[in-house]
Structure 1
Amino acid sequence: MSKVTAPKKVVLAYSGGLDTSIILKWLQTEYGCEVVTFTADLGQGEELEPARVKAELMGIPPENIYIEDVREEFVRDFVFPMFRANAVYEGLYLLGTSIARPLISKRLVEIAAEVGADAVAHGATGKGNDQVRFELAAYALNPDIKVIAPWREWDLSSRTKLLEFAEEHQIPVAKDKRGEAPFSVDANLLHTSSEGKVLEDPAEMAPDYVYQRTVAPEDAPDTPEFVEIGFERGDAVSINGEAMSPATILTKLNELGGNHGCGRLDLVEGRFVGMKSRGIYETPGGTLLLEAHRGIESITLDRGAAHLKDELMPRYAELIYNGFWYSPEREMLQAAIDKSQEHVTGTVKLKLYKGSARTVGRWSDHSLYSEAHVTFEDDGGAYDQKDAAGFIQLNALRLKLLAARNKRLK
């Protein structure tokens, strides 16, 4: 962005950490613009008041500092809709970082409108997926908004240069940031993501200290724990019979799953920008939620609907991973997914043990399961086994015709 088109007022996604503090000062010195900071409490498990103090120390007036608890909105309006789809990217990743970005972008754009800002800014680098997610969401919500991505613009291309800039502008630098950080962490109520440095060689096992939310499965309790999760229309509403809010449910499931070493993932994934990257993810509560949701769907969802959902899911997951939460195609898929959840109501019993979460029971007033039809005992005429003969013959007809032709042409 040239100085000619320099913004007058920018809303910055601000964590209070070194990188976004440097970005804050850089925006002020590079563009001479007014900066508004937005810090979202997404359940990352860190105290957010230091971000307020740090922003004030850097000259941001109190009225330009926004710190908001968005945990309930995050789980209710983003995590839960995604889990109705059983969404996993590349067969394994539960999209914990991906699903947080559209909410942050939404608030950036909304705050920009409230305070009369003409631009928003983020701290994502030019190599990752987050820059795409932040910016696609911002443009979808306000096509006229300017987006500033300092990592793509400045010449602070190394940790040394960043530290020199910080010292020059008297930005506090934590002692552990003086050297190379061992790895980069992103966290919210759904997961933690660790990448870089000691994790960059995918042949090397991740050190134990990387894991923050889960005990090692081998160190988990020797006694299994059972937990019952209640669902209504595809969303979790209770744990062990106690009704809870969406964020409270995910918090409790994180605790339960973490205690038993559930939800660890060591993944090499294909980024949207083209390269592969290695990440260590911990999603204890999400792992329990996915297992339980599939468990309740198994007795309440019709086979045709269930199989179609499974076909749509990879596309849906890819849209979220690539930053298209606010696209018409994601909304179309969401409408189909939500329609499928009308009868996904009931309770699932999970067994948690040494890193695993397995469904061991499920029941529902909306169940399609009929013991009378599947029993190996006398079913009292519920199902006439002779009917299967015609069913098989009709389905075999085209196979017979194919086989007859092939035999004739040999």
Structure 2
Amino acid sequence: MEKVVLAFSGGLDTSFCVKYLKHEKNLDIYSAIANTGGFSDDELVNIEKGAYDLGVTKHVALDVTDVYYRNCIRYMIYGNILKNNTYPLSVSSERIFQAYAIVDYARKIGAKYIAHGSTGAGNDQIRFDLTFQIIAPEIEIITPIRDLTLSREAEIDYLKKHGVVKDWKKMDYSINKGLWGTSIGGKETLTTNETLPEEAYPSQLQKEDSEELVIEFAKGEISTVNGESFATGIDAIRKIEEIGSAYAIGRDTHVGDTIIGIKGRVGFEAAAPLLIIKAHHLLEKHTLTKWQMYWKEQLSNWYGMLLHEAQYTEPVMRDIEKFLDNSQENVNGKVIMKLHPYRFELVGIESDNDLMNSGFGDYGEINKGWSGDDVKGFTSILGNQLKIFNKVNKGSLDIN
């Protein structure tokens, strides 16, 4: 029997793939979950048990959390990246690193095939296929759900036929968990006028009061949370997620253009990403120049779009990362936030690099580094181009 490595999550689609690859393709199935930081040890144990119950030959958990943080999450923080000003790329950003881990494992065991459970109507099929084709062209790709154009009901019927007993109600929602947030898909996200119910979110509201959260950054990376230091940025993110998710912060629905050209909706919860990005962005407003902010916004937008559309291996991504690295030199200081059920406020910042504390002047109050005559002369020269245009064109602007 030839070996196939199945990218396995334990959900409906990958459960179907195990039975299909075994009974219809007669393949020796090695399942692998590439963990990007979203699973506890207990959850990984349950996923492993589920894989063996389905009949895989071997199951492994591949931890890519550190690689994912160092090579991607850092830059999404530096770039304040929110797709369509909403979505922190919770799932789309992690797929490349999962794909690399799957390829490494497939080569290690000498697998002829790699399989994944993506449908034919989403982005993940492109992300996985493209990455596999680029870094492992010698390995063939099998995609049962996509190739058979299966509905969830058809998958469930097939699994029942092969004796699989599960709580099918729990599979009403497709949930993808990672360090940088959790995506949630269900019947509501297939519509344009319904939202996910409360029970669809993995994290439920636990706190009704309010509390202060202080995140400190050093060169753009989190250094402390409420005064507590952490060994890694990963640990700091987990702490912020623990604090923020208790308030059910970070829930929303992303609406966007898919790689294949159709519109799509997906729900998500991402307390830590939203809190961190908004805090980091506020600190940058105080510590970066106007043109640093401007060009960061342009390049970060492109970085997020290319990352979302599976273009991580494009060399320009490394170029943008160098720019983002360099931009963080003075992004140091504390950001004070106030957390409430389902929402948060940005209170303010404390930083030695705060450009508001330059002593040149207080906005709207008093000028210290220049005189009134300086402003008059500056304004006169600033208006020259428009004065010339309006004189030549005899005041062509009509605002009536």
**TM-score, normalization by structure 1:** 0.87
- Find the partner of 2:212 among 216, 226, 231: 226
Secondary structure of 1:357's match?
strand
Q: Structure 1 residue 344: deviation in Å?
A: 1.5
CA offset digits 1:143-190 (Å, max 9, x no partner): 4332222222236x23443234324433x231335xx95332222222
Q: Structure 1 residue 407: deviation in Å?
A: 0.5
Match of residue 177 from structure 2? 187
1-structure distance, mates of 2:44, 2:366 = 64
Match of residue 119 from structure 2? 125
* C-alpha contact (below 8 Å) 1:214/1:282 kept by paired residues: no
Query: How many residues are aligned here?
Result: 393
Closer, same or farther: CA 384–356 of 1 in aligned 2, 3 Å: farther
1:233-252 equivalence runs, <5 A: 233-244=219-230, 245-252=232-239
* C-alpha contact (below 8 Å) 1:214/1:262 kept by paired residues: no
Secondary structure of 1:151's match?
helix
2-structure distance, mates of 1:80, 1:305 = 18
Closer, same or farther: CA 12–334 of 1 in aligned 2, 3 Å: same
One-letter amino acid of the structure 2 residue matched with residue 76 of structure 1: R
- Find the partner of 1:206 among 196, 203, 214: 196
1-structure distance, mates of 2:203, 2:310 = 26
* C-alpha contact (below 8 Å) 1:214/1:257 kept by paired residues: no
Q: Structure 1 residue 58: deviation in Å?
A: 4.1
Match of residue 53 from structure 1? 49
Match of residue 186 from structure 2? 196
2-structure distance, mates of 1:320, 1:362 = 30
Q: Structure 1 residue 284: deviation in Å?
A: 0.8
Closer, same or farther: CA 409–354 of 1 in aligned 2, 3 Å: closer
* C-alpha contact (below 8 Å) 2:120/2:147 kept by paired residues: no
CA offset digits 1:43-95 (Å, max 9, x no partner): 3346111222233344434xx32113333333333222212111111121111
* C-alpha contact (below 8 Å) 1:76/1:247 kept by paired residues: no
Q: Confirm whether residue 17 of structure 1 aligns to residue 11 of structure 2.
A: yes
Secondary structure of 2:337's match?
strand
CA offset digits 1:21-61 (Å, max 9, x no partner): 22123223343333221113333346111222233344434
* C-alpha contact (below 8 Å) 1:183/1:198 kept by paired residues: no
One-letter amino acid of the structure 1 residue matched with residue 45 of structure 2: E
Q: Confirm whether residue 392 of structure 1 aligns to residue 379 of structure 2.
A: yes
- Find the partner of 1:176 among 165, 168, 178: 168
Greater mean deviation of Cα atoms: 142-151 or 79-88? 142-151
1-structure distance, mates of 2:22, 2:396 = 80
Match of residue 313 from structure 1? 300
2-structure distance, mates of 1:24, 1:72 = 28
Closer, same or farther: CA 66–36 of 1 in aligned 2, 3 Å: same
Closer, same or farther: CA 262–374 of 1 in aligned 2, 3 Å: farther
1:396-407 equivalence runs, <5 A: 396-407=383-394
1-structure distance, mates of 2:35, 2:167 = 25
One-letter amino acid of the structure 1 residue matched with residue 95 of structure 2: R
Q: Structure 1 residue 111: deviation in Å?
A: 1.0
Closer, same or farther: CA 145–383 of 1 in aligned 2, 3 Å: farther
2-structure distance, mates of 1:87, 1:409 = 41
- Find the partner of 2:257 among 267, 270, 281: 270
1:11-410 equivalence runs, <5 A: 11-45=5-39, 47-61=43-57, 64-154=58-148, 157-170=150-163, 172-177=164-169, 181-215=171-205, 220-222=207-209, 224-244=210-230, 245-375=232-362, 382-407=369-394
1-structure distance, mates of 2:343, 2:155 = 42
Greater mean deviation of Cα atoms: 282-291 or 184-193? 184-193
Q: Structure 2: 5+ residue runs without aligned partners?
A: none
2-structure distance, mates of 1:348, 1:318 = 27
Q: Structure 1 residue 119: deviation in Å?
A: 2.7
**TM-score, normalization by structure 2:** 0.89
Identical aligned residues as a percent: 30
* C-alpha contact (below 8 Å) 2:118/2:146 kept by paired residues: no
One-letter amino acid of the structure 1 residue matched with residue 22 of structure 2: Q
Closer, same or farther: CA 14–323 of 1 in aligned 2, 3 Å: same
Greater mean deviation of Cα atoms: 105-114 or 362-371? 362-371
Closer, same or farther: CA 287–408 of 1 in aligned 2, 3 Å: closer
1-structure distance, mates of 2:344, 2:243 = 10
Following superposition, which runs of at least 4 residues in structure 1 exceed 6 angstroms of deviation?
376-379
Closer, same or farther: CA 305–187 of 1 in aligned 2, 3 Å: same
Q: Structure 1 residue 308: deviation in Å?
A: 0.9
CA offset digits 1:261-302 (Å, max 9, x no partner): 321213332222122222221111111101111122122222
Closer, same or farther: CA 57–265 of 1 in aligned 2, 3 Å: closer
CA offset digits 1:300-330 (Å, max 9, x no partner): 2222111111122222221121111222222
One-letter amino acid of the structure 1 residue matched with residue 375 of structure 2: A
Q: Structure 1 residue 409: deviation in Å?
A: 8.1
2-structure distance, mates of 1:323, 1:357 = 32
One-letter amino acid of the structure 1 residue matched with residue 162 of structure 2: H
